């Protein structure tokens, strides 16, 4: 069974640009979550999608947005990039997700975004 895949793996952008990251969950998984990892901050939750609906959202500005398609693939978009957006962006999928469930989140390898 293929794992969670993320594309691209590495990305360099300049301030003010926008970027779209892609995540393909494990086959059959319907919940996709996004996290930002920066040195010293650990993993910060961005948002979670299930059946094309955003169910949970972290404390990030509106420049960070996402969506999920009918095949559960998800994209994350960051507009008007800032230097502080440089980070590793991780995607995780699980079967159902949702409050009360304890199904395991499986992470992809991440997309390393550098903003110059």
Least Å from the CB of residue 25 to other proteins: 12
> Given the complex with other proteins, which of 44 and 65 has the nearer CB atom?
44
Where in the chain does DSSP place strands (E)? 5-7, 10-13, 19-24, 31-38, 42-50, 53-57, 64-68, 74-78, 87-94, 106-107, 111-115
Residue 45 or 79 having the CB closest to other proteins:
45
Q: Is 70 helix (H, G, I), strand (E, B) or coil?
A: coil
Residues lying near other proteins in the complex (CB under 8 A)? 4, 31, 33, 35, 40-45, 48, 55-56, 58, 90, 92, 97-102, 104-110
């Amino acid at each position: 069974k293929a794992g969670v895949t993320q594309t691209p793996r590495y990305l360099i952008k300049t301030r003010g640009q926008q970027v779209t990251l892609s995540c393909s969950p494990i086959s059959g998984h319907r919940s996709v979550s996004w996290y930002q990892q920066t040195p010293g901050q650990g993993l910060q939750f961005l948002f979670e999608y299930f059946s094309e609906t955003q169910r949970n959202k972290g404390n990030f500005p509106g420049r960070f947005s996402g969506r999920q398609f009918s095949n559960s693939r998800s994209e994350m978009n960051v507009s008007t990039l800032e230097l502080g957006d440089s980070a590793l962006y991780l995607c995780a999928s699980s079967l159902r997700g949702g409050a009360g469930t304890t199904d395991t989140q499986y992470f992809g390898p991440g997309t390393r975004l550098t903003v110059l």
